[in-house]
């Protein structure tokens, strides 16, 4: 190993044959540091590899020496030293236990107090455990067997002749004297001292060997470190001449390029990789010069695109702040006109069945024979792709800008469902650029979400006030409308009437025909009511088979005439279908006659309706308690 280290440390760098390598920059020739000819044509990887191979051998040698020393120390000296130290400590514990037994027996012999036997018994247990531990060490070091045996025999003589005799409480037992115990314990102490001295001497020898081995290992590692340091210094000097100086020149040229001096060129030198790097740097400088010109031309386009993106952001904020569908659609149309400068912008909305497009401006349905989704907007909705219309009206899906287009249609998609189409038309055919399409598609994405939110809001608002079965307004809407109308009548002293009707014997009809037929009957009754009221009146489903009608600007007499006509139509409607037994009982109340509140008005009409039922059903009663008897002139001719 030492010979290997001396050979590595004594290795010499081959002598240099000096040549010059010049750099030409901006027409000026600069002299670079001399480079050895035998290293100039070698690659950077080869030079670094040679240096690292030498360092690698040295490091491997150092690792081997360290590992060898550590292994010897760990497997031999450390284990033995630790075992010897443990043996000394265990024998000391055994001696301490013997002292406790001696003290306990003497105290007991003097006082005859059994409490002093506790140290004796505890010491006996500790001594037994220590002897068991030392029995294993006896087998590993044979020369200590005799010393350990004599020590154990001295312990046994003391225990049998003194310890057990002292604690023997049987009558007539022979009691030893103090001098006997002292003589026996002195014999044990002499044997113990000899055994401990031998163990301590072995421990000290092993400790000295371990320290010596550590010192040897440190000296070897120091020698390897010095050899590595010497080799690193020599390799550093060689690599500096061959690599560092050319790299420094490259860095200086890079700084000139960073400062914007793109006209300078570099004649690279050094290893093959550095020469290739210099050539690549020259090419990069030429490319940077060309890129600078191209970047200047793109600045204008990027600035314009940034302005459009800000406009899209403002537009999306504008139509996302409202849940009114008409306002949102109008805002989308105006924002698209402002951003793109188009002649006309149309927003088409898909109907609930996903089969037709409705023009949000004119509410016209685009119906084309054969397929309801034709035309530019229809094709875009059907395919879910951006669609283009050429100058001659031809429709295509290609987004290439090689052909001028007259209109662009972008589907409004939420999730995987098309909710509409955004159609933008030009005055003259134009070539759509990628930036224009990105702007339109981004705007369409925000518009689709806003339109769908507004549409869902209207649907939810409508469903919260409409009965699902009869499509009439529900009880919640009745409470709101009735309260508002009653306040208006009190303020302006205008007439208001309220009509309640209940389908007669509906439970029996439901039991006889089943729920589906009963639901159909309620829908028919609701249809008759809806087609009979005026535009200023409102019909509601009060609950179950009960309905009510709010008659604005109508007094009690006119309300009675209306209720009678409606009763006749309901009766005749079901007779025409062959369904007998579907009639209704009506109750009419006038806001101006004894019903000053909305609740009182409903209670008065409800009481009148029950008067009609008690009077025989299928009739009309006023809240004053008198049934209404129509004249022949009041019965409609079409009934």
What would you measure as the largest C-alpha separation in the chain, in angstroms?
A: 152
Same domain, yes or no: 480 and 452: no
The reply to whether 419 falls in a domain is yes
Asked if residue 536 and residue 602 are part of one domain, the reply reads yes
CA distances from 377 to 421, 440, 452 (A): 6, 15, 18
**223-229 contacts: CB < 8 A, separation 24 or more?**
223/2, 223/5, 224/5, 224/58, 224/61, 224/62, 224/65, 225/62, 226/9, 227/5, 227/8, 227/9, 227/58, 228/55, 228/58, 228/59, 228/62
Comparing 36 with 607, the larger pLDDT belongs to 607
Residue 467 lies in a domain: no
Q: Which position among 91, 101, 102, 545 bears the catalytic label?
A: 545
Answer yes or no: is 619 within a domain.
yes
Rounded Cα–Cα distance for residues 133 and 136 (Å): 6
State percent of the chain over pLDDT 90.
16
Within-domain flag for 198: yes
pLDDT of 29 > 50? The answer is no
- The answer on 596 and 506 residing in a single domain is yes
Residues contacting 387, CB < 8 A, separation 6+: 376, 377, 379, 380, 395, 396, 397, 408, 409, 410
In 10 A of CB 326, how many CB atoms? 11
Angle at 96 between CA 93 and CA 102, to 5 degrees: 145
C-alpha–C-alpha distance, residues 561 and 130, integer Å: 121
Q: Are residues 417 and 445 both part of a single domain?
A: yes
- Same structural domain, 203 and 351: no
What is the structure's pLDDT at 399?
57
Is 366's pLDDT higher than 50? Answer: no
Say whether both 487 and 402 belong to one domain. Answer: no
- The total domain count for the chain is 3
pLDDT at 159: 78
If asked whether residues 479 and 456 sit together in one domain, one would say no
Q: Is residue 283 part of a domain?
A: no
Taking residue 367's Cβ as centre, other Cβ atoms within 10 Å add up to 10
Q: Which domain holds residue 142?
A: 87-170+177-220
Q: Tell me which H or E stretch contains 247.
A: helix 245-258
Assess if residue 25 is contained within a domain: no
- The confidence score (pLDDT) of residue 365 equals 42
State whether 482 and 614 are in the same domain. Answer: yes
Say if CB 412 and CB 422 are below 8 A apart. Answer: yes
Quote the pTM value: 0.41
377 shares its domain with 512? no
Three-state SS string over 104-133 comes to HHHHHHHHCCHHHHHHHHHHHHHHHHHHHH
Q: Note the Cα 508 to chain centre separation in Å.
A: 60
Is residue 629 included in any domain, yes or no?
yes
One domain for residues 488 and 352: no
Highest mean pLDDT among 14-18, 329-333, 544-548: 544-548
Residue 55's pLDDT band, with cuts at 50, 70 and 90, is confident
13-17, 67-71, 220-224: least confident range: 13-17
Mean pLDDT of 621-633: 55
Whichever domain contains 553, its CATH number is 3.30.70.270
pLDDT of residue 634: 35
Residue 420: per-residue pLDDT: 84
pLDDT of 503 reads: 94
Report pLDDT digits (tens) over 460-517.
Answer: 776 778 888 999 999 989 999 999 999 898 888 889 999 999 999 999 899 988 999 9
Same domain, yes or no: 399 and 487? no
Write the CA distances from 330 to 99, 359, 412, 436, integer angstroms: 107, 12, 15, 21
- 3-state secondary structure string across 520-559: HHHHHHHHHHHHHCCCCCEEEEEECCEEEEEEECCCHHHH
* Per-residue pLDDT, 263: 66
82 is catalytic: no
212 and 107 belong to one structural domain: yes
Does residue 626 form part of some domain? Answer: yes
DSSP of 193-245: HHHHHHHHHHHHHHHHHHHHHHHHHHHHHHHHHHHHHHHHHHHHHHHIIIIIH
What is the model's pLDDT at position 636? 37
Side-chain-facing half-sphere of 316: CA atoms under 13 Å: 17
């Amino acid at each position: 190993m030492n010979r290997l280290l001396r050979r590595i440390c004594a290795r010499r760098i081959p002598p240099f044959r000096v040549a010059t390598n010049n750099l030409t920059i901006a027409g000026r020739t600069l002299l670079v540091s001399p480079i050895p000819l035998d290293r100039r044509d070698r690659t950077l990887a080869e030079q670094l590899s040679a240096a690292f191979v030498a360092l690698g051998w040295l490091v491997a040698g150092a690792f081997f020496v360290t590992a060898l020393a550590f292994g010897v120390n760990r497997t031999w000296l450390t284990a033995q030293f630790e075992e010897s130290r443990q043996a000394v400590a265990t024998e000391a514990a055994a001696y301490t236990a013997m002292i406790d037994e001696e003290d306990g027996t003497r105290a007991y012999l003097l006082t005859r107090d059994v409490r002093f036997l506790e140290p004796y018994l505890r010491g006996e247990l500790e001594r037994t455990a220590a002897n068991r531990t030392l029995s294993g060490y006896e087998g590993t070091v044979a020369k200590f067997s005799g010393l350990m045996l004599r020590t154990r025999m001295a312990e046994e003589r003391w225990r049998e002749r003194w310890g057990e005799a002292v604690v023997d409480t049987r009558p007539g037992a022979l009691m030893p004297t103090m001098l006997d115990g002292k003589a026996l314990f002195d014999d044990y102490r002499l044997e113990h001292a000899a055994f401990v001295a031998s163990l301590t001497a072995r421990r000290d020898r092993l400790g000295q060997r371990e320290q010596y081995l550590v010192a040897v290992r440190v000296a070897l590692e120091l020698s390897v470190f010095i050899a590595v340091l010497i080799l690193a210094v020599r390799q550093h000097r060689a690599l500096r001449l061959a690599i560092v100086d050319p790299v420094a020149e490259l860095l200086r040229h890079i700084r000139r390029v960073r400062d914007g001096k793109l006209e300078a060129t570099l004649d690279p030198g050094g290893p093959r990789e550095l020469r290739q790097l210099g050539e690549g740097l020259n090419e990069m400088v030429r490319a940077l010069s060309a890129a600078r010109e191209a970047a200047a031309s793109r600045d204008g386009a990027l600035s314009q695109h940034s302005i459009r993106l800000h406009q899209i952001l403002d537009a999306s904020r504008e139509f996302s702040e409202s849940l009114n569908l008409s306002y949102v659609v109008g805002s989308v149309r105006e924002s698209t006109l402002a951003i793109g400068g188009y002649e006309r912008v149309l927003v088409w909305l898909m109907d609930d069945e996903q089969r037709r497009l409705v023009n949000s401006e004119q509410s016209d349905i685009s119906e084309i024979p054969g397929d309801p989704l034709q035309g530019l907007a229809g094709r875009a909705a059907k395919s879910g792709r951006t669609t283009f219309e050429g100058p001659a009206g031809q429709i295509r899906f290609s987004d290439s800008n090689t052909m001028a287009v007259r209109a662009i249609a972008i589907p409004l998609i939420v999730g995987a469902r098309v909710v509409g189409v955004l159609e933008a038309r030009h005055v003259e055919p134009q070539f759509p650029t990628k930036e224009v399409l990105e702007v339109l598609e981004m705007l369409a994405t925000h518009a689709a979400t806003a339109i769908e939110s507004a549409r869902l809001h209207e649907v939810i608002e409508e469903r919260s006030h409409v009965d699902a079965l009869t499509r009439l307004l529900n009880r919640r809407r009745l409470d709101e409308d009735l309260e508002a109308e009653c306040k208006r009548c009190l303020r302006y002293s205008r007439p208001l009437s309220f009509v309640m009707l209940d389908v007669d014997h509906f439970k029996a009809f439901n039991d006889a025909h089943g729920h589906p037929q009963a639901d159909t009957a309620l829908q028919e009754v609701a249809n008759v009511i809806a087609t009979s009221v005026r535009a200023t009146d409102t019909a509601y489903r009060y609950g179950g088979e009960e309905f009510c009608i709010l008659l604005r600007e109508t007094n009690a007499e006119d309300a009675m005439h209306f209720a009678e006509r409606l009763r006749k139509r309901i009766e005749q409607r079901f007779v025409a279908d062959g369904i007998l037994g579907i009639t209704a009982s009506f109750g009419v109340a006038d806001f101006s006659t004894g019903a000053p509140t909305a609740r009182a008005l409903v209670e008065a009409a409800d009481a009148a309706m029950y008067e009609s039922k008690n009077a025989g059903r299928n009739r009309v009663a006023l809240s004053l308690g008198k049934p209404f008897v129509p004249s022949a002139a009041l019965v409609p001719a079409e009934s």
